């Protein structure tokens, strides 16, 4: 059944949601273009696949914190000794991000800031849903709209305060990274199977669903999208 946003019944409009998904945030036609049925099904699939592992990781963090509070010192995990002592190599850096001489970070909203960051001359712009952005429903959804349009190359902004000046992307822009929220942060406006969604998976899933193909064809030269996953803390 479609879910209603949290407005008055007379104003209520519906997001078209798959089974088990309920949207508690305000309805907006722009947001509905992000929160499509297929996109929400993708996010729900991520939640159902990984929520057990995320819960386990969060409990391990709490256990570790209790030990540290009791005086235990951090140490290397014996189970990962083979990584530290073995011989191995990671995959090569994708050519699109081989040069990361200068990187800048800023919020995924406001829209004008995203355009200016991509036009800044830096090699990389990391659009941040984490430390740089207050995680309100409006900020998060506008950020998703901005990034979809940025990857598509259609993002623009008319600044009435500056005489109607129009901001749009230059021919050459910074490569886009996206930083979702930390694994420990829930998204209270999106319920999946009756519980708040994992904020990281919402941020990642919506952006990836709408933009991965366009990113690889454009910015990524066959690679990407590129992400910074914060607050990992542990190999598990």
Query: Could you read off the pLDDT of 157-212 as tens digits, one per residue?
Result: 999 999 999 999 999 999 999 999 999 999 999 999 999 999 999 999 999 999 99
* Helix boundaries (H) for 7-36: 29-34
Q: What confidence category does residue 44 fall into, taking pLDDT thresholds of 50, 70 and 90? A: very high
Burial class from Cβ neighbours inside 10 Å (0-12, 13-18, 19+) for residue 146 reads buried
β-pair type (175-179, 124-128): parallel
Q: What pLDDT is stored for residue 142 in this prediction?
A: 98
**Are residues 198 and 207 in contact, defined by beta-carbon separation less than 8 angstroms?**
no
Q: Tell me what pLDDT residue 9 has.
A: 42
How many Å apart are CA 150 and CA 137, to the nearest integer?
Answer: 20
As a whole number, mean pLDDT of residues 103-130 equals: 98
* Beta carbons within 10 angstroms of residue 90's beta carbon: 5
Say which residues have a Cβ less than 8 Å from residue 38's Cβ, sequence separation at least 6.
209
What percent of the chain shows pLDDT beyond 90?
89
Residue 12: pLDDT band by 50, 70, 90 thresholds?
low
Q: Output the pTM of the full model.
A: 0.91
Query: What pLDDT score does 2 carry?
Result: 53
What are the CB-based long-range contacts (under 8 Å, 24+) for 131-137?
131/230, 132/105, 132/106, 132/107, 133/107, 133/108, 133/109, 135/181, 135/185, 135/187, 135/199, 137/25, 137/26, 137/189
CATH, domain 19-75+99-227, list 3.40.50.10800, 3.40.30.10, 3.40.50.300, 3.20.20.360: 3.20.20.360
pLDDT at residue 5 tops 80: no
Contact of 233 with 108, CB cutoff 8 Å: no
What pLDDT band is residue 73 in, cutting at 50, 70 and 90? very high
Residues contacting 214, CB < 8 A, separation 6+: 151, 152
Identify the CA nearest to 179 among candidates 133, 118, 235: 133
Biggest alpha carbon distance in the chain? Answer: 65
């Amino acid at each position: 059944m479609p879910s209603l946003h949290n407005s008055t019944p007379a104003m209520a409009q519906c997001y078209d949601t798959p089974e088990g998904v309920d949207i508690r945030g305000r309805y907006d036609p722009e947001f509905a273009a992000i929160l499509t049925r297929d996109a929400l099904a993708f996010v729900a699939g991520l939640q159902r696949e990984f929520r057990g592992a995320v819960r386990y990781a969060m409990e391990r963090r709490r256990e570790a914190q209790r030990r540290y509070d009791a005086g235990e010192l951090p140490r290397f995990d014996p189970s990962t000794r083979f990584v530290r002592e073995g011989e191995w190599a990671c995959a090569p850096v994708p050519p699109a991000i081989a040069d990361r001489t200068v990187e800048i970070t800023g919020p995924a909203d406001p829209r004008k800031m995203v355009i200016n960051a991509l036009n800044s001359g830096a090699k990389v712009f990391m659009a941040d849903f984490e430390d740089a952005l207050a995680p309100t429903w409006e900020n998060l959804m506008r950020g998703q709209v901005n990034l979809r349009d940025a990857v598509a190359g259609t993002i623009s902004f008319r600044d009435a305060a500056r005489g109607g000046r129009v901001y749009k992307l230059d021919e050459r822009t910074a490569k886009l990274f996206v930083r979702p929220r930390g694994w420990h942060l829930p998204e209270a406006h999106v319920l999946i199977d009756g519980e708040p969604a994992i904020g990281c998976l919402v941020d990642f899933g919506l952006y990836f669903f709408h933009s991965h193909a366009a990113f690889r064809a454009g910015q990524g030269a066959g690679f990407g999208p590129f992400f910074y996953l914060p607050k990992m803390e542990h190999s598990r």
